[in-house]
Amino acid sequence: MSSASTPERPAPDSQAIKAARRPRTLKNRSYQVARWLHVYTSMISLLIVLFFSVTGVMLNHPEWTFGSTEQRQEVKGTLPQDWKAGTAVDWLKVTAALEKAGLRGTAGDYRADTSGDTLSFRAPGYSADVTIDPSSGSYTASVDSQGWVAAMGDLHRGRDAGSAWSVALDLAGYFLILIAVTGLAMLLYLKKLRLSGILSLLGGAVLVGILMKLALK
């Protein structure tokens, strides 16, 4: 007695499946884009947020030195004979000679005077003020190295850090704005959390406003 063969089921039509799928609305696409941007900008800026969080706490507690100490010293020397172009100071040559002597940072505050030519070097956690004898070319540099804690604080503030770090700070700010905006956009799509999230946001805004008002008194 032969058993009846079971008829094979037809393979599902992929086109029919696609047609049966619910089309993605503009709302769904917007949510997916916001989530994608939020996740990846958060990952990119994770170290940035961590850096500014840690250094912000350190700035709020200047007594926390972690063993970092300030060091002051004087550096003396004489500039090369061609440090002047006629009677005018060749600041490029002066800067190069002083950098070769060990000074670092961004040079500026140039001033030529009969009582003494001066310039300064600035870097995060570092400063050097130089006075040059106009007649002999001998110089004295007062160097102040404030340690790595002060350097981290200056980087947090963007002080004396150069143009490259200034661009990095701008990018960090843009990333954080994007994270905040996309996070808020994602919240607005979540019906169950929308009201509580908005109330939390308003409560936080009121709290920050009160703290700022107290700080400005």
- Give me the DSSP letters along 176-192: HHHHHHHHHHHHHH-HH
Length of the chain: 217
Contact 122, 105 (CB under 8 A): yes
Whole-number pLDDT of residue 44: 80
Contact 124, 139 (CB under 8 A): no
Q: What percent of the chain has pLDDT over 70?
A: 89
Residue 135 DSSP code: T
The H-assigned helical ranges of the chain are 14-20, 26-44, 46-60, 91-100, 148-157, 162-189, 191-215
**Helix (H) or strand (E) run with residue 107 in it:** strand 106-111
d(CA 124, CA 106): 10
Q: Which residue has the higher pLDDT, 141 or 36?
A: 141
Contact 154, 135 (CB under 8 A): no
d(CA 49, CA 47): 5
Mean pLDDT of 125-152: 92
123: how many CB neighbours lie within 10 A of its CB? 18
Task: Provide the b/e sequence for 46-70 (b: ≥16 CB within 10 Å).
Answer: eebeeebeebeebbeeeeeeeebee
Q: Is residue 105 classed as helix, strand or coil in its secondary structure?
A: coil
The answer on pLDDT for 98 being more than 80 is: yes
**Helix (H) or strand (E) run with residue 111 in it:** strand 106-111
Whole-number pLDDT of residue 4: 52
Sheet with 117-123, side-by-side order of all strands: 71-78, 138-145, 126-132, 117-123, 106-111
Q: Which residue has the higher pLDDT, 6 or 202?
A: 202
